[in-house]
Chains A and B, each alone.
Chain A
Amino acid sequence: MTTKVGNFMNTAKGMALAGVIAATMAAVSGAASASPFGGVAAGVLNPYRQEMARLGDRIVELAEVERRVMAMNEDLEWATQSLMEVTAEVESVIVDDDRITPRQQLRLIADVLSDGLARVRRDAAFRNIKVGPLPRVMEARDSWSSDDLSRLEAKESDLVASIDSYSSENEAALEVIRQVSKKLDHVILAADLKDSDELEAFDVLVEAMDLLPGGEAAAADEPAQP
């Protein structure tokens, strides 16, 4: 039984591409193509290459977007790791002890969890880290001295954004990637640059990029040089 890929690879187009794929795979340890457009004859620009040529004019912004997203990834990784440390602390609490009543056990768990989350929140603020929503720490710590654990009901236990919402710059960076991805996907699958919606999407991309340092909007804000 032949497969979809197998069928394609038996065509003339597929055979030619198989050579490219093999060469690409072999290039793992060597330098990749120095030409962004491969061996295509100069002056012949197909939709993909037209799009890449346009993006080529935005290469500094693309690098800035990449840097921002990688910084966001580091922040999120740190936050995730910090939350995992909190769970480890909670799990290390010995609750299976006959000398501790279930109410006291609950208080102990709540105490460790709350302290841990407060620490993550404080550290995140100190590091100026902006990550996604974090559970708010139960406040009214004084009430924990009471046996009535129902008073632990958090005023802010539900998920609310506080220090943790994405900044507009970070959102812009993600939007740029979404637009580049959408545009190129459209070009790859449809080979059509005439779709007005897609051209509009490209304008959104340009606008989003202008939010970034080095973009046109940022440049416009800079005082004119004497």
Chain B
Amino acid sequence: METSEKVMIACLLISEGGEEDAVREFISVLEEGISLGERDAVDLHAKLMRRMDGPLPDGPAGAVIRLMKAKRDHDAVRRRYGMAVEGLSKALSILSQPIKGDLSARIMVTRAMSAIGEVREAVGA
């Protein structure tokens, strides 16, 4: 589990009246369960994350959850952007290689188009 997710779950449950020690222990076993691939932990984690799209507590707890969600979105979009940049850089790098002949040019075309195709698949657009 990512740190931001643990923070979101803690903010939500404690703000809803959960006892701190219980929440702490719960997050710990949830994390262990997920790492062991236990179905109930995985499902509960997914449900809790979906819950973050619902109404949030007022005050700092809600503000922190919104902050963590914004960061999570940021990490995701940054990852996609990075993949797009990486793929296009690869294509550019292929295109700037010296050409030794027609066969070499043909191979470069294939490789460049393949790099471009990988971008589309990786970013999923």
Contact = CB atoms under 8 A, between A and B. Distances in A.
Question: Are the chains A and B members of one assembly?
Answer: yes
A171 interface: no
Contact of B4 (A70, A138, A181): A181
Contact of A106 (B16, B32, B56, B109): B109
Q: Per DSSP, are chain B's interface residues mostly helix, strand or loop, or mixed?
A: helix
B99 A149 contact: yes
Interface residues of B, number: 86
Given A20-B18, A188-B24, A174 B61 contact: no
Interface string B1-36: 001101100111111111111111111111011001
Most chain-A CB neighbours within 10 Å: which of B11, B25, B61, B89?
A: B61
Given A25-B51, A105-B109, A181-B3, A3 B33 contact: yes
Given A8-B29, A70-B70, A36 B61 contact: yes
A201 B66 CA distance: 21
Interface residues of A, number: 95
Given A66-B66, A113-B88, A181-B7, 17 more contacts: A5-B33, A8-B29, A17-B19, A17-B26, A32-B15, A32-B62, A39-B17, A47-B20, A48-B20, A52-B59, A55-B63, A80-B84, A83-B81, A88-B125, A103-B102, A109-B91, A132-B78
